Amino acid sequence: MNLDRLRAAYLEGPADLVIEIASPSTRGVDHGDKFYEYEQGGVPEYWLLDPERRRPEFFLLDAEGIYSPVVVGPVGVYESPALSGLRLRVEWLWTRPSVFEIASELGLGGG
């Protein structure tokens, strides 16, 4: 993380990660203008989450500065390369996991 670039009212340089929650009225902008602005601005990781369609999309900048889509593996957990330790069980975006499921995922379960 680049906390040294955080100022009182702004961030110097690109964010490490941008997450957009799409809606029917913003879907085109999130996939179009914002996508290219973040790419051109050098944001290393971009998530586009569409709750209505239950569709998550994850993108990483490649060596040429172009976003490449990332496929979530068969386990269904996405691990952010930009923010070490940030893991997301993708199905939880659309459901309400129990406290026990969360604790188990985090390795906090007893026994």
pLDDT digits (tens, 9 = 90+) for 27-69: 999 999 999 999 999 999 999 999 999 999 999 999 999 999 9
3-105 classified as CATH 3.90.1570.10: yes
Nearest to 56 by CA among 15, 96, 89: 89
pTM greater than the 0.75 cutoff: yes
- Show me where the domains of the chain are located: 3-105
Whole-number Å distance between alpha carbons of 56 and 64? 24
